[in-house]
Amino acid sequence: MSLPHILLGILAEPKSGYEIRQMFDSSLRHFWFAELSQIYPALKKLEAEGMLTSTTQPSEKGPDKRTYSRTIAGRDTLMDWLSDGPVEAPVRQGILAQIFFMSEQADPEAACRFFQTLKTRFTARRKALEAIEHEWRQECPSYPDDLSDDEFYPQLTLDIGLELQKTYENWCDRAVRRIRARIKG
């Protein structure tokens, strides 16, 4: 049950559903994502529960724009979520399941290709995160030091994102080396 809380977090500044979706796309991508079709009903429900209020104003292009603001109750609910400690996350790593059963496939070359494709994916993600870091350093030369609280904590999520991709990349390399050694040996 994290999405409602994440919406409350994003709505520290008033935003429309459409703008929230853009925020997922730009800043939260590396740890969460939600579609508009999930965001709109979730906002409506939070409003019904008194966590948000909304105002509608005409937009330059397209239909009227509904802007949501967080209430005191909404902020309190967010704070409770944070002080309850780390949430439990269900473990579902389909890729590891594929590798677990890879012996059925019998072809070590196919297994190598699998890990090479995987590495390409992790490298692309790492580079995307490094690009964010690079931009950040342009704007703030002392990065990652001297950040304000509302920059520091997001930076910690960027940090682990990068470290995870590197861990995965090294593992892919190791896996390919070990598979190749098994072919020879």
Partner DNA sequence: ATGCGCATGTAAGAGGTTACATGATTTT
Partner DNA sequence: AAAATCATGTAACCTCTTACATGCGCAT
Spatial distance between the Cα atoms of 152 and 138, rounded to a whole number of angstroms? 16
Q: In angstroms, rounded to a whole number, what is the distance separating the alpha carbons of residues 32 and 72?
A: 25
Q: Exactly one of 1, 72, 96, 181 binds DNA (CB under 7 A); which one?
A: 1
CA distance 135 to 54: 34
Chain residues binding a copy of itself by CB under 8 A are 2, 5-6, 9, 12, 28-33, 75, 78-79, 81-83, 85-87, 89-106, 110-111, 113-114, 117-118, 121, 148-150, 152-154, 156-157, 159-161, 163-164, 167-168, 170-171, 174-175, 178, 182
Draw the binding track, 6-45, toward DNA (x: CB under 7 A; -: no contact): ----------xxxx--x----------xxxxxx-xx-xx-
In our burial notation (b when 16+ CB lie closer than 10 A, e otherwise), range 92-105 reads eeeeeeeeeebeee
Helix (H) or strand (E) holding 69: strand 65-70
Contact 54, 67 (CB under 8 A): yes
Query: 133 contacts which partner out of DNA, a copy of itself, none, CB within 5 to 8 A by kind?
Result: none
> Smallest distance from the beta carbon of 63 to DNA, in angstroms?
5
Distances (CA, A) of 116 to 96, 119, 121: 15, 5, 9
**Cβ of residue 86: shortest distance to DNA, in angstroms?**
16
Taking CB within 5 to 8 Å according to partner kind, which of a copy of itself, DNA, none is near residue 18? DNA
Compute the least distance from the CB of residue 95 to a copy of itself, in Å: 5
- 63: which DSSP letter? S
**Residues that bind DNA in the complex, under the rule CB under 7 A:** 1-3, 16-19, 22, 33-38, 40-41, 43-44, 59-67, 90, 92
